[in-house]
Protein backbone atom coordinates (compact mmCIF):
# COMPACT_ATOMS: atom_id res chain seq x y z
CA UNK A 1 0.00 0.00 0.00
CA UNK A 2 1.20 3.50 -0.87
CA UNK A 3 1.42 5.99 1.99
CA UNK A 4 -1.00 8.92 1.86
CA UNK A 5 -0.02 12.26 0.32
CA UNK A 6 -0.63 14.95 2.94
CA UNK A 7 -0.47 17.78 0.35
CA UNK A 8 -3.38 16.18 -1.52
CA UNK A 9 -5.32 15.62 1.71
CA UNK A 10 -4.93 19.30 2.67
CA UNK A 11 -5.81 20.54 -0.84
CA UNK A 12 -8.84 18.23 -0.94
CA UNK A 13 -9.93 19.42 2.51
CA UNK A 14 -9.74 23.00 1.23
CA UNK A 15 -11.89 22.42 -1.87
CA UNK A 16 -14.37 20.42 0.22
CA UNK A 17 -14.63 23.42 2.58
CA UNK A 18 -15.07 25.84 -0.36
CA UNK A 19 -17.82 23.66 -1.87
CA UNK A 20 -19.62 23.38 1.46
CA UNK A 21 -19.43 27.15 1.96
CA UNK A 22 -20.87 27.76 -1.53
CA UNK A 23 -24.28 26.39 -0.55
CA UNK A 24 -26.14 23.30 0.55
CA UNK A 25 -25.09 20.00 -0.97
CA UNK A 26 -27.95 17.88 -2.31
CA UNK A 27 -28.26 14.73 -4.38
CA UNK A 28 -30.98 12.37 -5.52
CA UNK A 29 -31.96 10.00 -2.73
CA UNK A 30 -31.69 6.29 -3.44
CA UNK A 31 -32.96 4.16 -0.54
CA UNK A 32 -31.02 1.17 -1.94
CA UNK A 33 -27.76 3.15 -1.90
CA UNK A 34 -27.49 4.68 1.62
CA UNK A 35 -24.52 6.75 2.66
CA UNK A 36 -23.09 8.02 5.94
CA UNK A 37 -23.12 11.42 4.19
CA UNK A 38 -26.91 11.77 4.09
CA UNK A 39 -28.53 14.27 6.43
CA UNK A 40 -32.18 13.76 7.25
CA UNK A 41 -34.95 12.56 4.99
CA UNK A 42 -35.34 13.37 1.30
CA UNK A 43 -37.48 16.36 0.35
CA UNK A 44 -40.64 16.29 -1.81
CA UNK A 45 -38.45 16.29 -4.95
CA UNK A 46 -36.51 13.21 -3.82
CA UNK A 47 -33.38 15.19 -2.96
CA UNK A 48 -31.43 14.64 0.23
CA UNK A 49 -28.94 17.00 1.86
CA UNK A 50 -25.52 15.53 2.43
CA UNK A 51 -22.16 16.43 3.87
CA UNK A 52 -18.74 14.85 3.36
CA UNK A 53 -17.66 12.43 6.09
CA UNK A 54 -13.97 12.10 6.91
CA UNK A 55 -12.84 8.52 6.45
CA UNK A 56 -9.01 8.43 6.20
CA UNK A 57 -9.07 4.91 4.71
CA UNK A 58 -5.79 4.67 2.85
CA UNK A 59 -6.10 0.90 2.39
CA UNK A 60 -9.13 1.08 0.11
CA UNK A 61 -7.07 0.72 -3.08
CA UNK A 62 -4.87 -2.05 -1.64
CA UNK A 63 -6.79 -4.81 -3.45
CA UNK A 64 -6.30 -2.94 -6.72
CA UNK A 65 -2.57 -2.61 -6.06
CA UNK A 66 -2.36 -6.35 -5.39
CA UNK A 67 -4.31 -7.22 -8.56
CA UNK A 68 -2.21 -4.94 -10.78
CA UNK A 69 1.08 -5.66 -9.01
CA UNK A 70 1.92 -1.95 -8.79
CA UNK A 71 1.93 0.70 -6.09
CA UNK A 72 -0.73 3.31 -6.79
CA UNK A 73 0.54 6.88 -6.65
CA UNK A 74 0.08 8.29 -3.12
CA UNK A 75 -1.93 11.25 -4.43
CA UNK A 76 -4.61 8.89 -5.81
CA UNK A 77 -4.66 6.92 -2.55
CA UNK A 78 -5.18 10.15 -0.59
CA UNK A 79 -7.81 11.49 -2.98
CA UNK A 80 -10.06 8.44 -2.73
CA UNK A 81 -9.27 7.52 0.88
CA UNK A 82 -9.87 10.89 2.52
CA UNK A 83 -13.66 11.39 2.41
CA UNK A 84 -16.97 9.68 1.87
CA UNK A 85 -18.85 12.07 -0.41
CA UNK A 86 -20.89 12.50 -3.52
CA UNK A 87 -19.04 14.17 -6.38
CA UNK A 88 -18.11 17.84 -6.17
CA UNK A 89 -18.97 20.12 -9.07
CA UNK A 90 -16.08 22.52 -9.58
CA UNK A 91 -14.46 24.74 -12.19
CA UNK A 92 -10.83 24.81 -13.34
CA UNK A 93 -9.10 27.01 -15.92
CA UNK A 94 -9.87 24.26 -18.44
CA UNK A 95 -13.61 24.21 -17.67
CA UNK A 96 -16.02 22.11 -15.64
CA UNK A 97 -14.57 19.43 -13.37
CA UNK A 98 -16.68 16.92 -11.47
CA UNK A 99 -14.55 15.36 -8.75
CA UNK A 100 -15.47 11.72 -8.17
CA UNK A 101 -16.58 10.82 -4.66
CA UNK A 102 -16.95 7.53 -2.83
CA UNK A 103 -20.53 7.50 -1.50
CA UNK A 104 -20.46 4.35 0.65
CA UNK A 105 -18.56 1.10 1.20
CA UNK A 106 -20.25 -0.57 -1.79
CA UNK A 107 -19.15 2.36 -3.94
CA UNK A 108 -15.55 1.53 -2.99
CA UNK A 109 -15.90 -1.83 -4.73
CA UNK A 110 -17.45 -0.22 -7.80
CA UNK A 111 -14.61 2.33 -7.90
CA UNK A 112 -11.99 -0.43 -7.66
CA UNK A 113 -13.64 -2.29 -10.56
CA UNK A 114 -13.79 0.84 -12.73
CA UNK A 115 -10.18 1.76 -11.99
CA UNK A 116 -9.13 -1.83 -12.77
CA UNK A 117 -10.96 -1.78 -16.11
CA UNK A 118 -9.29 1.53 -16.98
CA UNK A 119 -5.85 0.16 -16.03
CA UNK A 120 -6.29 -3.08 -17.99
CA UNK A 121 -7.35 -1.13 -21.07
CA UNK A 122 -4.19 0.95 -20.76
CA UNK A 123 -2.02 -2.13 -20.39
CA UNK A 124 -3.55 -3.64 -23.55
CA UNK A 125 -2.82 -0.40 -25.42
CA UNK A 126 0.70 -0.22 -23.91
CA UNK A 127 -0.04 3.22 -22.47
CA UNK A 128 1.34 4.74 -19.27
CA UNK A 129 -0.77 3.79 -16.25
CA UNK A 130 -3.18 6.48 -15.03
CA UNK A 131 -5.95 6.58 -12.45
CA UNK A 132 -8.91 8.88 -13.08
CA UNK A 133 -10.28 11.14 -10.35
CA UNK A 134 -12.63 13.54 -12.18
CA UNK A 135 -14.96 13.88 -15.12
CA UNK A 136 -15.00 16.90 -17.41
CA UNK A 137 -17.90 18.65 -19.14
CA UNK A 138 -20.98 16.47 -19.56
CA UNK A 139 -20.69 16.24 -23.35
CA UNK A 140 -17.01 15.29 -23.20
CA UNK A 141 -15.53 11.81 -22.94
CA UNK A 142 -12.36 13.24 -21.40
CA UNK A 143 -11.39 12.46 -17.83
CA UNK A 144 -8.78 13.87 -15.51
CA UNK A 145 -6.31 11.31 -14.24
CA UNK A 146 -3.07 11.04 -12.32
CA UNK A 147 -0.12 9.61 -14.25
CA UNK A 148 0.95 6.84 -11.87
CA UNK A 149 4.68 7.13 -12.62
CA UNK A 150 5.00 10.94 -12.52
CA UNK A 151 2.12 12.08 -10.31
CA UNK A 152 1.12 14.67 -12.92
CA UNK A 153 -2.53 15.40 -13.71
CA UNK A 154 -3.40 14.55 -17.31
CA UNK A 155 -6.49 15.13 -19.42
CA UNK A 156 -7.18 11.97 -21.39
CA UNK A 157 -9.85 10.29 -23.46
CA UNK A 158 -10.01 6.62 -22.40
CA UNK A 159 -9.47 4.16 -25.24
CA UNK A 160 -7.44 6.66 -27.28
CA UNK A 161 -3.90 7.98 -27.29
CA UNK A 162 -5.14 11.52 -26.59
CA UNK A 163 -3.44 12.76 -23.42
CA UNK A 164 -2.09 16.11 -22.27
CA UNK A 165 -0.54 17.35 -19.05
CA UNK A 166 -2.70 19.76 -17.05
CA UNK A 167 -0.84 20.15 -13.74
CA UNK A 168 2.41 18.94 -12.20
CA UNK A 169 0.63 17.46 -9.17
CA UNK A 170 -2.87 16.60 -7.99
CA UNK A 171 -2.47 18.88 -4.96
CA UNK A 172 -1.65 21.91 -7.13
CA UNK A 173 -4.59 21.09 -9.42
CA UNK A 174 -7.04 20.82 -6.50
CA UNK A 175 -5.84 24.13 -5.03
CA UNK A 176 -6.91 25.98 -8.18
CA UNK A 177 -10.48 24.65 -8.28
CA UNK A 178 -13.51 26.76 -7.44
CA UNK A 179 -17.00 25.54 -6.56
CA UNK A 180 -19.49 25.57 -9.42
- Over residues 21-44, the pLDDT tens digits come to 999 999 999 999 999 999 999 999
| Buried b / exposed e along 26-41 (16+ C-beta atoms within 10 A) | bbebeeeeebebbeee
Give pTM, 2 decimals. 0.94
8-state DSSP, 155:
E
Non-local CB neighbours of 118 within 8 Å, separated by 6+ positions: 130, 131, 132, 158
Non-local CB neighbours of 173 within 8 Å, separated by 6+ positions: 92, 144, 153, 166, 167
- Res 4: pLDDT: 76
- Res 137: pLDDT: 81
Largest alpha-carbon pair distance within the chain?
Answer: 50
- Res 25: pLDDT: 96
8-state DSSP, 117:
H
pLDDT over 90 (residue 146): yes
Task: State how far the Cα of 70 lies from the Cα of 64, in Å rounded to an integer.
Answer: 9
Non-local CB neighbours of 158 within 8 Å, separated by 6+ positions: 118, 121, 132, 141, 143
Amino acid sequence: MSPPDTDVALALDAIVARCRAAGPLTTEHDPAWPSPCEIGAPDANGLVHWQPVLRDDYDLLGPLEETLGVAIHPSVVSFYGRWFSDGFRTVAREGEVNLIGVWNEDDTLRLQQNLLGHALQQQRRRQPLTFFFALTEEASEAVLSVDNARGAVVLEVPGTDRREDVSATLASFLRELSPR
